[in-house]
Structure formats: structure tokens, C-alpha cells
Structure 1
Amino acid sequence: MPSLLPATSPATGPVLNRSLTLLFSITCALAVANVYFVQPLLDAIAQSLQIAPGLAGFVVSATQAGYAVGLVFIVALGDLVNRKKLMVCQTLLSAVALVVAGSAGQWPLLLGAMVTVGMMAVLVQIVIAYAAALASPQQRGQAVGTVTSGVVLGILLARAVSGIIADLAGWRAVFFVSAGLMVLLAWVLARNGPSRDLPRLAVSYPALLGSLFELFVTERTLRVRGVLAALIFAAFSVLWTSMVLPLSAPPLSLSHTQVGLFGLAGVAGALAASKAGRWADRGWGSRTTGIALALLTLSWWPTAYAETSLLALIVGVIVLDFAVQAVHVTNQSLILAARPDAQSRLVGAYMCFYSVGSAVGAAAATQVYALWGWIAVCLLGALISAAAVVYWVWADLMVAREPG
């Protein structure tokens, strides 16, 4: 098997400054928004394309399926090719896919376009791995947390912005606006992205993919943290995919703008979770994970009152977003520290778990709501969250029992 060693000489010292960190954060925010801005639009898309409301969640699932494909076949390229060029290409291809999605008149065409949108959105993982590699080892967790805060803002603000645009100009306009932003981002990255690339591997693409799958077998931290990612993002997707359905239905009958604004409720909690990277740098990763998972499970209690108390829903959203992002940042900090020579592949492998969890959660949530209503959705989310707590306890006990 070819040696997985850098083909170029190592970079001399960390080069991640504040302006580059800001650019990376903005890039992540815009890229991840393409995955999440569709959630407040599900009812409008279902009515426009004349499909059953219970099938609307498959728009999210199609995006996540594309994301999973991109995680396997695209993110690993960050260890093989020029990262700046890869980022620009992904951004431009995202713009094309978004235009197709916004123009789609048939359900299959929209799903196909969203698969491509999801594939290109893995730009987020390439940027996070790039930031971690450019940072010093002592600041790696903090860098991941800071850039991930851009991801959080993109996820949460995407819903609010898409709701406003949809109320003003229809759901298709959301896709066209995002496509324009992608073109602008590609120009900015081409002009202001990192001027120096990082070491690249001297291997073929098939060998690179083979090493990606080997990481699942050899890296226990990746496996444990990956399972936690699948569970927490399944719970996350259960809430955010289905929440639009009871809020837009009578008696609440909220507009797309009002539904989207609930994304703002989670900003404070999720941004606070960006500090989880610093906690991981200090060796508090396991403690942070346990507390956050307990909060995630408890968050479904106030969320269950969404149909009668919007204030309770806001509390639930804040707690849930804090918990999910705290675990997510901790996960990434720990796996990137485990193998600094395989940053992109580790992130890609880890996010495969995320994508599977998100896709399953999205599909299950809309089906459960259609069959049994909002309380059943919250029970589903709580059970998934509790399963994450149980798994974390088991994994922690197994580590404690290991010799030496």
C-alpha cells in the first residue's frame, strides 16, 4: 500500500490569523445554510409541487444523503489536492445546483438538485479541517470552536432568512439568493483565501479512500464520537425538520418568517457552546459531553409544550442547540487531536455519522408527526437523546476499564 506521507514539505508554524478565521467562519456559515434553509419551506414546497406533506421531509433527507456521499468522496480530497482551489470549485458547483433546485418544477428534479447541494456543502468539513491544520496544537480546539460558531450561525440564521425571503418572494427565491451568495463567496475565496497550501499526500485517490475506511477500524475515538454524532444530530433533525408543521398549522398558523425566527432562539445557546473547544483543550471533553447530553434529553420536556406555549418551545430550542453544538465541537476537537496527519479524512469520516443521523431523523420526524402528532415527535427526540446518554456512559466505562 502506498505510504500516506506528505508529498510536500511541512508548513513552518501556524498561519491561522484573525482575518482568515473570520473568512473561514463566514464560508462555513454560507455553506451549511444551503443544507438547512429548506426546513421552514417544506409546507410551501409540498403545496407548490403537489406532494403529500408526509413526504416533504425527504427534501431534507435527500440533502443529507448527498452530504454523506460528499463526506466519503470529496472531503478526503482535502489531504490530496490544493485546498483553496477545491473550496472555490465546490462553491461554484453549489451555485449551479441551487439554481437548478430553485427552477425545479418536478419533485424528482428537486430531490436530485438537493442531493448535489448536499454534496457540495461538505465544503464546511474541508474548511474546519483546514483551520485545525493551520492552528497551533495548543489552539486547535479553540480554532475548531470559533470556526464551528460560523456553522452554528449559518444553521440557525438560515431558517430565519429563508422564512423572510419566502414570505416576500416565494420559496424559489431563497435558492436563487443563496446561489448568488455562493458566486460572491467563490470570488472572495479566490482573492483572499490562504496563500500557502498545507502538505499533501503522495498517494492515489483510491488509496486515499481506502485509508479513510481504515480510520473507522483503527481509531476508537472516531468510532465513539461518530456514534454520538449520529445520535445527537438525529435528535437535532427531529426537532428542526418537524417543528414547522405544528407551528404553521392551526391554531398557531405562523408565517414562514415567524417560523424561521425560531432559529434565532438557539443562537445564544449554540454560540456559548463554541467554548467547548477550549474545554476540550483543557482535558474536560468527557465531562462536557456528559453534561451536554443530559441537557439534550431534558430539552424535550419544554419543547413538548410547543402547541400551547411558544415560550416553552424557545427554552427547549436554546437548551437543545447548546447541547448539540457543545458535543459536536468537543467531538471534532478530540478526533482531530488524535491524528493530526489525517485532518480532512478524520472530519469526513466523522461527519458521515452526522449525515446518517440527520437523514434518519428528518425522515422519521415528518412520518411520526403525520401519524401521531407533536407529542410523539418529542418522545422520539427524547428517546434518541437518552440513547446517546446511555452510549456515552458505556463508552466512558469501557475506557476506564482499559489497562494502563
Structure 2
Amino acid sequence: MTGPRSTHPLDTDTIRRLPKAVLHDHLDGALRPATLVELAAEVGHTLPATDPEALAAWYYDAANSGDLVRYIATFEHTLAVMQHREGLLRTAQEYVLDLAADGVVYGEVRYAPELMVNGGLTLPEVVETVQEGLAAGMAAAAAAGTPVRVGTLLCGMRMFDRTREIADLAVAHRDAGVVGFDIAGAEDGFPPAAHLAAFEHLRLENVPFTIHAGEAHGLPSIHQALQVCGAQRIGHGVRLADDIADGKLGRLAGWVRDRRVALEMCPTSNLQTGAAESVATHPITLLRDLGFRVTVNTDNRLVSGTTMTREMSLLVEEAGWTLDDLRTVTVNALKSAFIPFDERNALIRDVVLPAYDAAAAEASGAV
């Protein structure tokens, strides 16, 4: 990267103002606690707590079990309020506004339409409603002077049999805000190769996709996602560190680094699911040092009680990251975003680099 380099300590306010890019963030894991309380009352769903602060605390405690299956189980309550048009519109619009408030200039939001049809909406209606809410959020953010570009990834659930159908949905809406595809859900015992029909269809239709891999399951999951299924990015990929010993890369790790496969890493979430022990020892820093295309992500903002500002701040405070490191992972994310090259390049050139260079100059006392 070019521009001034600073090792000056970064405070939270400075980090919040920096432009950010997030590639791995689930819509149904990002609701505002107060919104969840209000929508649950409207649809008659019983929550573990009805005070927003208490509910946020319940989510955080429940997610800190160290078990991916229990972590996923916390989504029962958010999904309960996302089965009708009103709930989807509101949560999608607020999702974008919360990104903008956090300094995010580009985000990719993912969700599983098949989990949102219990209220009578069809799969296409779910997608169209979410896109309507996202568009409203982007318009409001732009009007407020904090523009953010949001692309959508549709998720097929890996433990069910509708991934080919969801892939069709992604193809049908690729010119209406949908930029890619993913499979989500419990990783161990549900290999990505079981959904080859979906991935083959997406490749033929030129729709990019990422795959959750290397979180609850190890290197075979990452290998299969890349070499058998053809994923362009890896969701999490924490276990790739198992293929590195004393700085020497194994064949899979070398393949990932050499081909610049982006790793959508989510430090807080990885701690909660037991995929990492601490932020200080999280593999993201090792992989960054070895030249992998690592990115920093939130995964589920409500469930993990986090934001992009918090994730970056934790890496600064506990793993010694610098402003230059934050700039690098932000550029990494934009380089691997599922939007056209000219849009990615414009965000890097016109938004990200000038802001980080200005922050570096300010920290060094140049201005």
C-alpha cells in the first residue's frame, strides 16, 4: 500500500470515522434489540427478555457457548419477526443505516430466503422485499451524507435440500441487487460438495459465490469448498492455520495465498463458536503477516454484540494492529467484493485510500 504509515495508537472514535468494507454479515443476525422487541410484540412471539438492553445481553451470553450449533440456535427469535413484509422492510432498512453509522462504505449482506417464508411470502417476494428495504436504507444514508453501497448474497441452507432452488433465485435477481451466493448453517456433517448442482449452475451463469468453511470443520472443508465446489471466497477459514507450521505453508494454504482467495474472518464470532481462543491469538494476524488476503467482518452484529468499529478496535488493542493494517484489510475486502471492478476500484481510489492517508498524516502530526 502507498501513503503515510503510522504506528500511532488508534482510538475508537478515529476507527469509527474510517471507511470500512464488510463482506460477511448476516441480516438475521443484525437486528437492533429495540426493533426485535417491537416486532416480536406485533407478531406475538415470546422473547427471552423484553427490555432491549437485557435482550442484547441475553444474545451475547447465549452466543458465548463455544458451540456453533448453539450459536445458530439464537436465530430462532430474529427469524420469528422476519416472516412478513413489514418486518423485512424495517430490518433491511435499519441494517443499512447501522452500517452507515459505523463508517461502512461497502457491505455485503447475506440471508437465507427459505427461512423467511412461514408468513406466506414466496421466495421471490422475500428477495424483492429485502431489496426494497435495502434500497430505502441506502437512499436515506446517502441523503444524510453517509453513502453506503450494499450488495446481497442469497444463502442456501446446507442441511436442507433447497440450495439449487436458491441458486436459481440468485440468478433471477442478479440485476436487482443480488451479487452472489453462499451456503450457511451447521458446517460439520454437511459438506459443501453435497450441493454441487447449485454451484455448477452458478458457475455456468457467472454468479460468484462464497462458502462457509474452515470454522467448525477443518482443512477438508476448505479444500472441498475451493477445489470441488469452486468457491471464489471462504467464509471464516480459521482452520487454514492448521496447514501452516513455523511459517511454512502446506499445499492448501499455499494455494489459497497464491491465488488471493479472500478469507472472510470474523474474530468475535470465531471466539464465540470456539474456532479461536482469543483476539490476540486469532489466526487472522498470522495469516495477515504471511500475506494472505484476510478481511475483517462482523458475522452477526446482534448475536456477537459487535460492529466493524469494535472488531477493528479489538485487533488494534489486543493484537497490535496499526492503521496501515486496517487500511490493508479494507482494500482486501473491496478487491474481493462481488461487484464490478470499476465500482470496487472507485471505492478504493476515491474513498478508502484518501481517508486512510489523511488519518495517517493527522496521526503523524503532518497536518
* Higher helix proportion: 1
* Higher strand proportion: 2
Bigger relative contact order, structure 1 or 2, given CA contacts below 8 A and separation 6+?
1
Structure 1 length normalisation: TM-score? Answer: 0.26
